[in-house]
Structure 1
Amino acid sequence: MAAPKKGRSASAQSRPGRALALILIAIVALTGGMFASGHTTPRLGIDLAGGTSITLEAVNEPGQPNAINKTNMDTAVEIMNRRVNGLGVSEAEVQTQGDRNIIVNIPRGSNSKEARDQVGTTAKLYFRPVLMRQASGAASSASPSAGSSAGSSASPSPSNSSGAQKATSGSASPKASASPTASATSQGRAVTDALKAGATPSASGSASAKASPKASTSASPSASGSGSAGGGVQAQYAALDCANPEQRATAGKGAKTGETTVACGKDGTVWTKFLLGPVAVDGTEVSKAQAVYDTQGASGWQVQMNFNSTGSKKFADVTGKLSQMTSPQNEFAIVLDDQVVSHPYVRTAITGGSAEISGSFTQQEAQGLSNMLSYGALPLSFKEQSVTTVTAALGGEQLHAGLIAGAIGLALVVIYLVVYYRGLSIIAVASLLVSAVLTYVIMSLLGPTIHFALNLPAVCGAIVAIGITADSFIVYFERVRDEIREGRSLRPAVERAWPRARRTILVSDFVSFLAAAVLFIVTVGKVQGFAFTLGLTTLLDVVVVFLFTKPLLTLLARRKFYASGHRWSGLDPKRLGAKPPLRRTRRPSAPVETKEA
C-alpha cells in the first residue's frame, strides 16, 4: 500500500503546471472581460468621485401632529435606502440627522440624477381613477359620463378656446371617435395574464355612439362612484397649465384622499393635466413590484405588481368599474407626490391580487416605475431643504495619503521578505502581484455588475489585505524551513510542509472572512465597503496560495539554485541550523566472539 501512495504523491508533485495554467487562464479571461465591458477602472464612491448630498426635512401633515417620531423616521430611511439602491446607485448613504432631517448622499454616476428625483418625491403613493385628461394648453376633449354606454367616445370640441372641457352632443361618427392611440397610452396599460398580447382598445366603429349631453361644468363620476367633481375643482382643472412649473408644483397640494383633485403628468415630452377621482387604492397596499421583460409576447418591458389582501379587493373593484368605461375614464392614475407617474388603461376586471402594466416602456422606465410602486409609500412627507454638490477634492487628498501609506507598508514588507527569505522573496512578491492584479480586475468588473463602488474604507481594506496575504506566505515558508531543519532535502520538505501549512492558512483566512462577513451584515454605509473588500481579498488569498504560491515553489524546488541550498536561496541548511541528513542504515549485526586458536 505504501508504493501507490508514493506514486500518487509523485504524480501530484509533477503537475504544478496545471494549477499555474489555471490561474493564468482565469487572469486572462477576467482581464479580457474587463476590457470588453469598457470598465477598465473601479467605480468610485462619493468620497473619491464626488456626488450629491440632499437634506430632507419631515413636515407635519394635517391631522397628524405626532407623525414625526423615531419609528417613522427609521422606516423612511429604510425605504429611501432601498429606493436609491434599487436604481443601481451603490454606496449611497441615507441617514437621519436630528429629529426630523434625513441626509442622502448619492455618488456621481449615470443614475444619480434619477435617484435624486425619486428621493425628492417623498409623498405617499395613490391609485386614483382618471376623470379627464388633456395635453396642457391644447384643445380640450369632452369626457363621457359614467352613465354613457360602453361604445361612447370623446372628441375634441373645436369651439372651446378656453381649454375647458365640454361634452359633445348628438351622434359622433366613427371617424371622429377617439380611440386611445399610441401616444395616449405611452404610460402603459394594465392587463391580466390572458390579455398580454391584446390590442389597444378602440371605440366601436360599427355604429356612432351618443355622448352624454351633460353640462361641461360637471365631470363624470369616478369609478368608485363617489359622485361628480365639484365646480371648484373643474375651475382649477380648466385654469391649470402643467407647462408652467409653478402651477405644476402646486397642483393637487393638500387634497384629501376622499376628494376629487387635479394633477400633472408627463407623457414623453408633453405635459398632461388630469382631473382625478378619490383614492381607490393606497400605495401601501402594493406588496411587490418588479420590472420584467416579456420574452413570450411583443410587450417588451413591463411592470408586474402584487397587492396585499386589502389592496387586491380594492383593485378588483375599481378595475371592474373602469373596464366598463371608455377612454380616458377606463384609466387609473398612479400618483406620487401629487404627480401622475403613469396612467394605464384597463381592459377587464383584474382579480387575484396581481397585475401587469405594459406599453412602450424602456428598461429604465420600467425599473423606475417598479421602484416607485415598491418604495413610494413613505410614512411621512418631506420637503427638500438643501441640495449640495460634493467634490472629490478632500477624498482625493485622503486617497493620495492612503496610497502613500500603502506603498510604504508594501515596500517595508518587500524589504523584510528580501532580507529574511532572500530567494524565497521572489515567490512572495510574485504572489502579491498576482493577488493585486486579480483584486483590481475583479473590482473593475463588480462596478457594472453589482454596482460596487470603491471608497476610502474599501481602499483601507485592500491595504490591510497585504498583511493577510504576506502572513500566508510566511506560514508556508516557515513550515518548509522547519522540515529542512529536520534534515530533509528541499523537494520532500516542500510536500511534507504543505498539509500543515494549508490547515493553518485556511483557519486564519476563515477567521478573517468571518469577521468581514459579520462586519458587512451589522454595519451600513462606508464600513460595508471595508468589510466587502476585506472579505474579497481574503478569498483571493486562498486562491493565490493554492493555485500559484505552492505550485511555483514546487517548480523552483527542482532548480539547482534552491535544491542545493544556495546561501541566497533562503533555504541554506547551514544557515538554518539543519541536522545531518536523515539516512536509513542497516542494524549492526551481533558481535562475533573471537575463537582462540
Structure 2
Amino acid sequence: MGATVALQKAFVPKFGLDLAGGTTVTLSPVTANGKAPSQESLDRAVTIIRQRVNGTGISDAQVAKSNDNIVIQIPGAGRDEALKLVSTTAELRMRQVLAVAAAKAPPVQPSTAAPTASGSAAATPAASPGVASTAKASAAPNGNATPAGRALSKALTAPTPEPSGTKRATTSGGRAAKASPSASASAAPSSSAAPEDANDPLAGQDTSGIDQALLTEFRNIDCSAKDRGQGAIDDPNKQIVACSDDGSARYILDKAAVQGTEISGAQAGTDPTTGEWIVQVNFKSKGATQFADITRRITSLPAPRNQLANVLDGVVIVAPTIEEAIPGGSARISGSFTQVTATDLADQLKYGALPLKFRQSSVVSVSSTLGQDQLHGGLISGAIGLIIVMLYLLLYYRGLGLIGMASLCVAAVVTFLTVDVLSHNAGFRLSLPHIIGLVVSIGITADSFIVYFERIRDEIKEGRRTLRSAVEVAWRRARRTILVADAVMFIAAVVLYFLAVGDVAGFAFAMGLTTLIDVVVVFLFTKPLMSLVARMRFFAKGHKLSGLDAERMGRTGRAEQTLQEA
C-alpha cells in the first residue's frame, strides 16, 4: 500500500462533505398530472440515485427523502457531473422519426429559377453533433433535407466517410449505414404532405398520422433556446416534439417503440476499430423483439421516416437511418464521447431509469470552514486517545508496553495507508463519522494486545514454562479469544453498515475496517515481535522494567526460580 501511495503521489485522503464541503441538491418531483408522487416511486428514485452517487457505499454521499422532495449531499466542490447524474431520469426511448427540420427556419432567399421536376434547391438543416445530414435532390422541395445519424448495417459494404464529430447509433456486428438513393428519390410529397411554403419547416414532408397540435408545436418550438438539461415530460404512449441534444434540429417522433425499462445493461468501452468511446446497450428479451420489429418496419420507408431516434429524457441524442432489420438485442451509441461522458451515460442506463421527472429546486454549496475545525478536533482527539492508551500500556506493562505501543503505531500507519488507497481508488471519502469510528477502535485494537500479554503472564506465574515456551502456549490460547472478539465486532459492523445509511454507515465502515487491520497487525506483527523479544535476556530473566519481574506479577518462588534458570 505504501508503494501505491508513493506511485500515485496521493499522500492525503479525500474528505467527505462535513470535512471538505460540497453541494447539497434538493430535487422536486414533476408529475404529468400535477399531483403528488406516490411514496413507492419516491423510494425507488432514492434507491436509484443512491446507487448512482454512492455505488460503493463509502463515498459519503447521502440521499434522503424530505416530504415529497429528495435531498442529496455530494462531497467535494465542482461536482457538475454528479449533479447531472442525479437529476436526469436516464430514460432511453427509441422512437420513429415522423418529421424533422432545423431548429430555426433559415431566411428565405429570392429564387431566380423555378424548381423543376428533376430536382430543386432544398433548405437543409445544419448537421449537429447528434445528427448528420443525408439530404438528396428530389422532386420534393425539402422533404429529404433530413438530419440523420448513421447506424450500423450489414447490408452496406462501402460506407461513405462521416463528418468529423458526428454521433451515430450502431448495432453489434455491422457497418455504418447511409441513406439509400432509392429511398431518397421516392420521398415525393404525398396527398397528406404539408403545404408548399418556403417558410414552413414542414413544407414537402409527409404529415399523415400526426396530430394537428403537434404540427403547431413543431412550427413554434425554438430548440436553440430550450433548456435541455432535464428534458421534457414525454409520455411513451404519445407522439412528441423534441430537440436534438445540441439544439440544432427539431423532430416529431412517434410513440416509443422500445422503452428504457427493457434495457438489461449498459457498458462504456472503446470501438476496437476506431478507438472511440461508445456505450453498449443490451436489451431484455421483450426489448430485443421490439427493437428488431421497429427496425424491420421502418427500413423501407422514405426519409425521414426511416430514422430511429434515441431519446434520452426527452432529448434526441442520435437519429440514425435504418436500412435493414437489426436482431440480436444489442445496440450501441457512439460519437463525440469521452471516457467520462460515456461512463456517465452507461451508469445512468445501468442503474435504471428514475420513475419520476425532477427539477432542481435548490443547489447549495457547503463551506469547508466548519469542516476543517471538525477535522482538527477529530485528529486531536484521536492523538490524545492514542497517547493515553500508550501511556497506560507503558505504566502497567513497562517493557511489554513498548511492544504494545509499537503495534499501535503499526496499526495506525496501516490504517492511514488503507484509507488513503481507498480514497484515491475506490471513491472513499474520510468524514467525521469515519474518524470517530477510527478513534473508538483504538481501544478495541489495544484489547487484543492486552489479552495476549495477560496469557503470557499467566503461563509464567504458574512456573511451568520458560518465557519462550510461554509465548507460544499463550499465543495458542490468546488467538482464539482475539479472533472470537474481533469476529463479533466485525459482524456487528457489517450488520450496522447494511441496515443503516449516512453517518451511521460511515461509522460502521470505519469500525469494520479497523477490526480487520487489528487481526492483521496482531498475527503478522505483534506475535512475531513477541517471539523475538522472548530471546532477549532483558525479558527472559525478568528484569524489573520488563513487566515480567516477580514483584510485578506476584510470582511464586517456583515460578521465579524457573524464570531465572531460563
TM norm. shorter chain > 0.5: yes
Q: Is the 8 A contact 1:190 1:347 kept in 2?
A: no
CA RMSD of aligned residues (A): 3.7
Report the CA distance shift for 1:70/1:392 in structure 2 as closer, same or farther (over 3 A). Answer: same
Report the CA distance shift for 1:530/1:251 in structure 2 as closer, same or farther (over 3 A). Answer: closer
Report the CA distance shift for 1:234/1:78 in structure 2 as closer, same or farther (over 3 A). Answer: same
Which residue of 1 is the match for residue 138 of structure 2?
169
Which residue of 2 is the match for residue 58 of structure 1?
29
- Code of the residue aligned with 2:170 in structure 1: it is A
Report the CA distance shift for 1:37/1:432 in structure 2 as closer, same or farther (over 3 A). Answer: same
Q: Per the alignment, in what secondary structure is the counterpart of residue 84 of structure 2?
A: helix
Identity %: 42
| Residue number among 58, 73, 79 corresponding to 2:48 in the alignment | 79
Q: Is the 8 A contact 1:243 1:271 kept in 2?
A: yes
1:94-113 aligned at under 5 Å gives the runs 94-98=63-67, 100-108=68-76, 112-113=79-80
Report the CA distance shift for 1:573/1:283 in structure 2 as closer, same or farther (over 3 A). Answer: farther
Which residue of 2 is the match for residue 40 of structure 1?
11
The offset of 1:464, in angstroms, is 1.4
Which residue of 1 is the match for residue 281 of structure 2?
305
Q: Is the 8 A contact 1:288 1:306 kept in 2?
A: yes
Q: Is the 8 A contact 1:241 1:273 kept in 2?
A: no
For 1:403-453, what per-residue CA distance to the aligned partner results, in whole angstroms no more than 9, with x for missing partners?
A: 222222212111101110111121111111111111111111112322111
Unaligned runs of 5+ in 2: 108-117, 127-133, 151-160, 197-201
Which residue of 2 is the match for residue 114 of structure 1?
81
- Code of the residue aligned with 1:417 in structure 2: it is L
| Residue number among 473, 482, 485 corresponding to 1:508 in the alignment | 485
Which residue of 2 is the match for residue 492 of structure 1?
469
Report the CA distance shift for 1:330/1:472 in structure 2 as closer, same or farther (over 3 A). Answer: farther
Q: Is the 8 A contact 1:153 1:209 kept in 2?
A: no
1:107-146 aligned at under 5 Å gives the runs 107-108=75-76, 112-122=79-89, 125-133=92-100, 136-137=103-104
The offset of 1:207, in angstroms, is 12
Which residue of 2 is the match for residue 189 of structure 1?
169
Which residue of 1 is the match for residue 511 of structure 2?
534
- The size of the alignment, in residue pairs, is 521
Q: Is the 8 A contact 2:24 2:364 kept in 1?
A: yes
| Residue number among 243, 255, 269 corresponding to 2:224 in the alignment | 243
The offset of 1:379, in angstroms, is 2.4
Which residue of 2 is the match for residue 332 of structure 1?
308
User: Do residues 261 (structure 1) and 240 (structure 2) align?
Assistant: yes
Report the CA distance shift for 1:494/1:322 in structure 2 as closer, same or farther (over 3 A). Answer: same
Report the CA distance shift for 1:280/1:254 in structure 2 as closer, same or farther (over 3 A). Answer: closer
Which residue of 2 is the match for residue 446 of structure 1?
422
Q: Distance in 2 between matches of 1:502 and 1:252?
A: 60
Q: Per the alignment, in what secondary structure is the counterpart of residue 406 of structure 2?
A: helix
Which residue of 2 is the match for residue 410 of structure 1?
386
Which residue of 1 is the match for residue 520 of structure 2?
543
Q: Distance in 1 between matches of 2:505 and 2:446?
A: 24
Unaligned runs of 5+ in 1: 1-29, 141-151, 585-597
Which residue of 2 is the match for residue 385 of structure 1?
361
Which residue of 2 is the match for residue 433 of structure 1?
409
For 1:341-374, what per-residue CA distance to the aligned partner results, in whole angstroms no more than 9, with x for missing partners?
A: 4445545323343333344532222222223323
Q: Is the 8 A contact 1:93 1:105 kept in 2?
A: yes
Q: Per the alignment, in what secondary structure is the counterpart of residue 79 of structure 1?
A: helix
Q: Per the alignment, in what secondary structure is the counterpart of residue 28 of structure 2?
A: strand
For 1:39-90, what per-residue CA distance to the aligned partner results, in whole angstroms no more than 9, with x for missing partners?
A: 222121111111111112223422x74x622212111111222233359993
For 1:107-147, what per-residue CA distance to the aligned partner results, in whole angstroms no more than 9, with x for missing partners?
A: 1167x21121232224854322234556645859xxxxxxx
Q: Per the alignment, in what secondary structure is the counterpart of residue 293 of structure 1?
A: strand
- Code of the residue aligned with 1:384 in structure 2: it is Q
| Residue number among 436, 449, 452 corresponding to 1:476 in the alignment | 452
Report the CA distance shift for 1:454/1:283 in structure 2 as closer, same or farther (over 3 A). Answer: farther
Which residue of 2 is the match for residue 147 of structure 1?
none
Q: Is the 8 A contact 1:189 1:346 kept in 2?
A: no
Q: Distance in 1 between matches of 2:101 and 2:289?
A: 30
Which residue of 2 is the match for residue 145 of structure 1?
none
Q: Is the 8 A contact 1:513 1:535 kept in 2?
A: yes
- Code of the residue aligned with 1:76 in structure 2: it is A
Report the CA distance shift for 1:428/1:393 in structure 2 as closer, same or farther (over 3 A). Answer: same
Q: Distance in 1 between matches of 2:183 and 2:214?
A: 34
- Code of the residue aligned with 1:103 in structure 2: it is V
The offset of 1:492, in angstroms, is 1.6
Q: Is the 8 A contact 2:496 2:505 kept in 1?
A: yes
Which residue of 1 is the match for residue 337 of structure 2?
361
Q: Per the alignment, in what secondary structure is the counterpart of residue 492 of structure 2?
A: helix
Q: Distance in 2 between matches of 1:73 and 1:553?
A: 57
Q: Distance in 1 between matches of 2:300 and 2:39?
A: 45
User: Do residues 157 (structure 1) and 123 (structure 2) align?
Assistant: yes
Q: Distance in 1 between matches of 2:229 and 2:2?
A: 53
Q: Distance in 2 between matches of 1:395 and 1:88?
A: 21
Answer with 575-584 or 366-375: which moved more: 575-584
Q: Bigger radius of gyration, 1 or 2?
A: 1
TM-score by length of 1: 0.77
The offset of 1:381, in angstroms, is 2.7
